[in-house]
Structure 1
Amino acid sequence: MTSTRLGGLDDFRVPAALLVIAIHTGPLLSISPAANYLLTDILARLAVPFFFAVSGWFLLPRVQQQGMAALLPFLKKILILYSISACLYYPVKIYNHTFSWTSLPRELIFDGPFYHLWYFPALLLGTLLVCLSLRYLGRRGTAVLCAALYLFGLLGDSYYGLTQAIPPLHRLYEALFQCFDYTRNGLFFAPLFLLLGDRAGQNPPRHGRQRCWIGFGLGLTALIVEGLTVKYFNLARFDAFYLALPPCLYALLQGLRTLELPPRPGLRAWSGAIYILHPMCILLVRGFAKMSGQTALLVDQSLVHYAAVVGLSALLALPFVLLRRRPSTSARSRAWIELDAGALQHNLAVLRDRLPAGCTLMAVVKANAYGHGAVEIARLCAAEGVDAFAVATAQEGAQLRRAGIRGTILVLGYSGPELVPLLARCRLTQTVVSAEHARLLDGCGRRLQVHLKLDTGMHRLGIPWDDAASLASIYACQNLKVTGTFTHLARAGQRTLEGEHATEKQLACFRTATERLRCAGFDPGALHVQSSYGLLNYPEVTCAYVRLGIALYGCLSAPGDHPRLSLPLHPVLALRARVVQVRALCPGETAGYDGDFTAVRPCRVAVLAIGYADGWPRCLSHGVGQVLLHGKPFPVAGLICMDQMLVDVTEVPDVRPGDIATLIGRDGDAELTAAQAARDAGTIANELLSRLGPRLERILLP
């Protein structure tokens, strides 16, 4: 995720770090205690939840895509930081005679060794809780759990005054406070903000920048009103939890996402170092003030005290920016796929605008969403209001359900009786392809919603459109409820007289078959015949759904296709790979398997870290295929290997290791489309994209 739209998250780390320091120094205390309360006990409470949310934003999608193994490097990193911080501050506790062996377990698990270090155990515990919950409860169950835990923590924090009025509840909290000092910890506080960060990262803003910031302003107003109310009625035991805090933070994240700012990785290390070091800087400033006799200025003058702590913290944190460890094993050091969320949103809007009246868009996300990433694409579509999806297998549908996708999920392919429990458990709609298939499904005794697939001329899967007896027998099945009927147009992409005649014949057969069902007293449910090329070439055909696949991703199957509707669709996917080495060859030297590339002049070949195991066709070898580097096309040199390929870059001497090559997408003014690459490979874009392998990380760009 290196889009300029994520720079806002990096930039806000600076005010968040300053707000954390404000909480622990009270910069306005000597000026106005009321103003200081407003700043430190209400507004500044956004800071730590912001850091939790950013962790959830980047971590949780990886865990959901790659499994719990993706969690281990994060936990290791946080444990190291926590250990260093504990070693830094436990000597202070020992010096101040506040260290206790009996409180050590509680501090390490919940409260932290020093007052600000509660963040690290909260992050560790909260992350584990959310990840396990997502795995076993799904997104909806996890959201309910996190919200319930937050509300429970709320009654032990800002609304503790209400708890005291209910003796049994009061005794419960007092018992809990024997295990930890505050409900502001990894059990009750952190999980909800981690999950909010994940949701904000997966769901692009639905409204423009102005409305996002208006929403944040309204949330901030509600937060202030709530905080002042809690203060007025003296309800708080502490004051970290507010009802308005989660929606206010979510609006802030969405607003930051609308800012087109460059990423600033250095601020990540800098803000983290400030968080760890600033209490030590408070001690240093106060110690220096006492030794120099400047307590009245450097401590009693709260704003000066705050400025001194900020300055010293920022100064001591600078080396951590300079020494920031740059990852060398990231997937971005090899090859990856970039998904443009804005392009998908644009395509959805354009395609919806051309749907017939009363028609709904069904997003076809089979084959890992044509190689784009089924979960990522489905979540983006769901955020735009799409509630109907099509997959090829029951397993693909179950993957979407586990990722929290709601609405209709239609399984287009055959599912045997052994998959009925999965179909029922995940509430998938199964396609019935024959009367025998219906009997097998019905015999399993589980209630299923099904769509009938009619064969009107494709002669692939489906019930013959004129087989009235078979169609009627399906309605006799006790456990199957028909909610839709569809067919597939075999030649919708052909703009020839023969192709148009075949399509019209299929449409006529479909209309006849569904009308016969109605006349026989059977409800065919939602009718759908259109796919991408059906909509582009026959936009006047009405139906309940249009099953959009390749067009949704901003592609045509081949560059020579010219459908009746020429829509301004934008490609969603870009495929890039890193240059890992550049080799100089003398005339006569060979490179690659079988010495298949021979230098006929002094030349340079770049080694790209991508090959046919990633799904890039081997038939694009020998200069058939090309890539973009520095905004210019270069031919493939020799044979494409399993994990690497060679590119002749002789014409541009400044190609270096670390440069990024583009196999699909735009580089400067140059562009290579999936349809162009597919044409060179002798196939169509649908196949080329669908074959892109799982080891290519899908990176979502706003």
Structure 2
Amino acid sequence: MDSNLPGSNPPDSQPAVRAEALVDLAALRGNLDALRARTGSAAVMSVVKADAYGHGLVPCALAALDAGVTWLGTATPEEALALRAAGITADRARVLCWLWTPSGPWEQAVTAEIDISVSGEWALREVLAAVRATGRPARIHLKADTGLGRNGAQPHDWPALVAAARAAEAEGLLTVAGVWSHFACADEPGHPANEAQLAAFREALAVAEAAGLRPEVRHLANSPATLLMPEAHFDLVRAGLAQYGLSPVPELGGPADFGLRPVMTLQARLAQVKSVPAGHGVSYGHTYTTAGRTTLALVPVGYADGIPRHASSTGPVWLGGKWRTVAGRVAMDQFVLDLGGDQAEVGDLAVLFGPGDRGEPTAEDWARACGTISYEIVTRIGVRVPRRYVGALGGALGGTPVERLEGGGG
């Protein structure tokens, strides 16, 4: 049996761990291939913010490069700088960073040739100060607020921002490499906000063009727009959740419907199995009591590992070829399963979620059980859960193959 399949034992060379997140880099590459098949001439950006949605920043970025991606997307400057520190140079990938605050590491970003998102004239001033301090030109992407109401310049501020950026470009201080925005409701096809934002983005592009800007890339589409709105692809799409094999529109289709495969499998080994009588309370508050004599199994992960407390008495787990449900409250480090008349052994593998093709629950199943979205399920898996990487192409970090990197960050 393949040792990487849910329900199998680890190879002798790898000691059994309390819990692990198995990350299939071959699946990630396949997902990027499937997304590129939908985008025509538009390039695909691999969004690796939030530790690659919990999958591991550097290993997933390297896998994306193996798949032919040349753009990486991050939220924070620290994420972008970590990619450069890992040896991903500007000639291998453009790295865009979009969440900035005053007095951030602007100089380091300019020196590292990171593309910087600019949403207002205050940010442009900070970029220009970094350019003067380092003596190096910057690459920026101007962001327009087309209706999401978060970052980005409002329409009444947009012409002034564009003019200031164009003037700086004419002085040779920077290159306006991109113009971009972000959808609010792309996961709701037919929502009137989508067409309104598309129109507003085109208007923002027209203002930029009239001012003399000729950006390398214009980008608006996130994962749902990549799958469902080809008219929004422009020059570049930003693949976030979809590249990790999860559907951003589960009401319309699961991963397989879009040619995707979930990348992460979360599993843990039972720490205790015991028989208890009827009426026995289980976990804090005794919100669950046993209906009859039964077997309880202890799964050694809890909300400190990123298991939602909202999964109390609802979260699904695959054990012994069956779906089980969390019995009682999820605690900080552990939760309990009521096995009824079934038996198990300490050390047996419990699969919380995976691709689902062998019967195990998926991250979407957990999202529904907890009243949230699959984005939250995978990104919240914490640093106490080591990541184990399979399906690498021999991609290397400092000459060391990325095949088993443990720890939450990768």
TM-score normalised by the chain length of structure 1: 0.51
Give the structure 2 partner of residue 397 of structure 1. Answer: 80
The change in CA–CA distance for 1:371 and 1:264 in structure 2 (over 3 A counts) is closer
Post-superposition CA distance 1:650-684 (Å, at most 9, x none) = 2422x111111111115773131111111111111
Greater C-alpha radius of gyration: 1
Q: Does 1:536 align with 2:227?
A: yes
Post-superposition CA distance 1:125-160 (Å, at most 9, x none) = xxxxxxxxxxxxxxxxxxxxxxxxxxxxxxxxxxxx
Q: Matches of 1:693 and 1:370 in 2, distance apart?
A: 11
Post-superposition CA distance 1:457-478 (Å, at most 9, x none) = 1111001245312221122235
Q: Matches of 1:649 and 1:566 in 2, distance apart?
A: 33
Judging by fraction of residues, say which structure has more strand.
2
The change in CA–CA distance for 1:558 and 1:586 in structure 2 (over 3 A counts) is farther
Q: Matches of 2:151 and 2:357 in 1, distance apart?
A: 45
Deviation at 1:619, TM superposition (A): 0.7
**What is the number of equivalent residue pairs in this alignment?**
375
Q: Matches of 1:575 and 1:602 in 2, distance apart?
A: 29
Gaps of 5+ in 2: 392-410
- 1:507-518 aligned at under 5 Å gives the runs 507-518=198-209
Letter in 1 for 2:120: S
Letter in 1 for 2:28: L
Q: Matches of 1:656 and 1:345 in 2, distance apart?
A: 36
2:165 alignment partner, SS class? helix
Letter in 2 for 1:452: L
Q: Is 1:612–1:642's contact at 8 Å kept on the other side of the alignment?
A: yes
Deviation at 1:431, TM superposition (A): 0.6
- 1:651-666 aligned at under 5 Å gives the runs 651-653=341-343, 655-665=344-354
Q: Matches of 1:527 and 1:617 in 2, distance apart?
A: 37
- 1:92-491 aligned at under 5 Å gives the runs 265=12, 330=15, 332-356=16-40, 358-405=41-88, 406-444=92-130, 445=132, 446=134, 447-466=137-156, 467-477=158-168, 479-491=173-185
Among residues 359, 375, 379, which one is paired with 1:670 in the alignment? 359
Post-superposition CA distance 1:188-237 (Å, at most 9, x none) = xxxxxxxxxxxxxxxxxxxxxxxxxxxxxxxxxxxxxxxxxxxxxxxxxx
Q: Matches of 1:264 and 1:457 in 2, distance apart?
A: 52
- 1:45-84 aligned at under 5 Å gives the runs none
Deviation at 1:415, TM superposition (A): 4.1
Q: Does 1:495 align with 2:181?
A: no
Among residues 381, 387, 390, which one is paired with 1:692 in the alignment? 381
Among residues 256, 266, 278, which one is paired with 1:587 in the alignment? 278
Q: Is 1:558–1:676's contact at 8 Å kept on the other side of the alignment?
A: no
Letter in 2 for 1:343: A
The change in CA–CA distance for 1:264 and 1:631 in structure 2 (over 3 A counts) is closer
Deviation at 1:692, TM superposition (A): 0.9
- The two structures, once aligned, show a CA RMSD in angstroms of 2.2
Deviation at 1:424, TM superposition (A): 2.2
Q: Is 2:272–2:297's contact at 8 Å kept on the other side of the alignment?
A: yes
Q: Matches of 1:436 and 1:4 in 2, distance apart?
A: 50
Q: Is 2:316–2:365's contact at 8 Å kept on the other side of the alignment?
A: no
Give the structure 1 partner of residue 247 of structure 2. Answer: 556
Give the structure 2 partner of residue 173 of structure 1. Answer: none
Q: Matches of 1:373 and 1:345 in 2, distance apart?
A: 14
Letter in 2 for 1:346: G
Give the structure 2 partner of residue 272 of structure 1. Answer: none
Q: Matches of 1:408 and 1:606 in 2, distance apart?
A: 48
Give the structure 1 partner of residue 305 of structure 2. Answer: 614
2:261 alignment partner, SS class? coil
Letter in 2 for 1:428: I
The change in CA–CA distance for 1:453 and 1:264 in structure 2 (over 3 A counts) is closer
1:671 alignment partner, SS class? coil
The change in CA–CA distance for 1:348 and 1:3 in structure 2 (over 3 A counts) is farther
Q: Matches of 1:535 and 1:570 in 2, distance apart?
A: 16
Letter in 1 for 2:84: R
TM-score normalised by the chain length of structure 2: 0.86
Q: Is 1:429–1:449's contact at 8 Å kept on the other side of the alignment?
A: yes
Give the structure 2 partner of residue 248 of structure 1. Answer: none
Post-superposition CA distance 1:426-476 (Å, at most 9, x none) = 221111011122112212324321111111111110012453122211222
Q: Matches of 1:402 and 1:469 in 2, distance apart?
A: 35
- 1:607-646 aligned at under 5 Å gives the runs 607-622=298-313, 624-646=314-336
Q: Is 2:356–2:362's contact at 8 Å kept on the other side of the alignment?
A: no
Q: Matches of 1:482 and 1:514 in 2, distance apart?
A: 12
Greater relative contact order (Cα 8 A, min sep 6): structure 1 or 2? 2
Q: Matches of 2:252 and 2:384 in 1, distance apart?
A: 31
Deviation at 1:553, TM superposition (A): 0.7
Q: Matches of 1:546 and 1:584 in 2, distance apart?
A: 54
The change in CA–CA distance for 1:580 and 1:393 in structure 2 (over 3 A counts) is same
Q: Is 2:187–2:249's contact at 8 Å kept on the other side of the alignment?
A: no
Q: Is 1:465–1:510's contact at 8 Å kept on the other side of the alignment?
A: no
Q: Matches of 2:200 and 2:66 in 1, distance apart?
A: 36
Gaps of 5+ in 1: 6-261, 269-326
Post-superposition CA distance 1:260-305 (Å, at most 9, x none) = xx9974xx7xxxxxxxxxxxxxxxxxxxxxxxxxxxxxxxxxxxxx
Deviation at 1:485, TM superposition (A): 0.7
Q: Is 1:339–1:699's contact at 8 Å kept on the other side of the alignment?
A: yes
Q: Matches of 2:218 and 2:341 in 1, distance apart?
A: 56
The change in CA–CA distance for 1:609 and 1:449 in structure 2 (over 3 A counts) is same
Post-superposition CA distance 1:354-409 (Å, at most 9, x none) = 113x2111000100111111111111111122110000101001111122223111
1:505 alignment partner, SS class? helix
* Percent identity of paired positions between Structure 1 and Structure 2: 34
Q: Matches of 1:341 and 1:486 in 2, distance apart?
A: 29
Q: Is 2:25–2:389's contact at 8 Å kept on the other side of the alignment?
A: yes
Judging by fraction of residues, say which structure has more helix.
1
